Amino acid sequence: PTAILRLRRAIGLRGPANARNRTLDMVSLAEGFLAAGEVDESRKVTAQATEQIDQLASNRLSRRLNELRQRIG
């Protein structure tokens, strides 16, 4: 899907100074994979986002990631 391609591109373009937005994009990408039925890809991207979130202080991001983990199972 187009959304997945655009999110992958956005993630690749964001530098270290945009870590929070990059991680938000990763969560959106994982949600997109889940919606497309690609559970393994969703888990993979979720794990990558989880690694990034430890360095960030964002309640909103943490909440979205936790909700995604629950949906994946």
For residues 72 and 46, the answer to whether their CB atoms sit within 8 Å is yes
pLDDT recorded at residue 25: 96
For residues 56 and 20, the answer to whether their CB atoms sit within 8 Å is yes
pLDDT recorded at residue 24: 94
Q: Where are the domains of the chain?
A: 2-72
What are the pLDDT tens digits along the chain (73 aa)?
799 999 999 999 998 889 999 999 999 999 999 999 999 999 999 999 998 887 888 888 899 999 999 999 8
Left if phi > 0, otherwise alpha if psi is -120 to 50, otherwise beta: which for 37? left
